Structure 1
Amino acid sequence: MGFGSYDESEQEKQETNNDDDHEAVNVHENDHQGEVQFESEASTDDLVSRLGEMKDDDE
């Protein structure tokens, strides 16, 4: 057989493996509900000022 040729008989009886033994993926299995809290010594003004400095550094 030349390049790109194939045996058509191979195309007729293809087996597919559709095992039902596999479980579906549950994307919500590890969802968590709640809140995150943290304490900081810095004031809101300090944090906003630092954010401004970080933005200036990017430029």
Structure 2
Amino acid sequence: MSRIIEKIAWFVDDQDGVTAIEYGLIAALIAIGIVGALTTVGTDLKTVFNTVADDLDSIVATI
């Protein structure tokens, strides 16, 4: 019986994989932040290029 308790205590105290999991979670959060930022910038950039294209079309139409 005490051997089972020792194994359970060892399992609970084992910290070998915890750091790797923490780094994985941090990397995932950073990736989510980058994707969110690039999506916002991409949408704004598309709006800028569409505005420039529309302005150029109207300038060319007046020539």
Q: Same fold (TM over 0.5)?
A: no
Q: Which one has the bigger helix percentage?
A: 2
TM-score by length of 1: 0.29
TM-score (norm. length: structure 2): 0.27
